[in-house]
Chain A
Amino acid sequence: MSTPQNRREDPSLLASVADGDRGALRTLYERHAPWLTLRLKRRCADPGIVEEVVQDTFVAVWKGARRYRGQGEVAAWIWGIGIRRLIDRLRARPLPIPSALDRGGIVISAEEEVLLSVEHGDLGMALDRLSPELRAVMQATALDGLTTREAAKLLGIPQGTVKTRLMRARHELREALA
């Protein structure tokens, strides 16, 4: 971590990537590939697919760096690409929910204070009481930032089912937290 490249902010690195700077891509990769791999692994049981998706994602970053509009975290932008690439890969053969997504859950607020209270609080327990199907739907929409249509593709269920499960999950959580 001695070169100045490593101390540059993500958006400035991304701007260099847009100008064809491979070194900048390498730095972005070193920063973001590890968490992306770990996070995708929690959503896809097949490590081979996860690796392909991570590679696809950074090739997409290379080609589409110009599309980053300079708003929001670069990490969130990369995640948006990654999770959609995963959906594309899984489209042919969606994963059964229990094997890959039984750890599904929810974040109802982006506020870190709220998130911290999750650990031993009511929300944690409320989440645990949700069925795996409902948690998977909450995770895909609330945490992963997918639309109901994309969530349907990821989970291999109809879009209408995603909507009804989402409504039921919200209802159950509200009851549990009331």
Chain B
Amino acid sequence: MQNRRNSLFLLAAALLGAGLCVAAEPAYRLQGRAAPDFALRATSGSNFRLSEHRGEVMLLVFWGSRCGQCGTQLTSLSHMVDTYRSAGLAAFAVNVDDDQVAAAEFAMAHPVSFPVLLDPAKAVARQFQVDNLPMLLLVDRAGVIRHVHRNYRSGSDAQYLDQIKILLDE
């Protein structure tokens, strides 16, 4: 009897956990739609406009200096972008910190091979309905948002890579 009760408790906990996981990953309303165009200044001083990269597969990652996983993700993405740049992969890391000095220091500590753009007013983050950091979007060659990833876990890189390869082949 006690065993049965324990089993039922575990089952209920598992269902609740699964429910919470589903609730933690709400549907992204822009998926399947054209990525909004924007222009932002990079830490290097140059300006970048998204629409100028139409025809390339674009990887957009929104990050903040107080996000624990962001540094690891950026370093990992940098290697991936280096490998697939010649195949038509472009990447932009959009920082949403209010403090641009903190953002620049974080970017210096985690150097990446792609432009780090500054969005202190969060206008672009609002356009893209960013609700979590880090948040990664994959945009196809036609400018349509195809994949969204909230959070960064072990195994995320392999998933990104599979999706990037498919988008590059299209």
Pair from one complex? no
Give the B-binding residues of A (Cβ under 8 A): none
B residues contacting A by CB (< 8 A) are: none
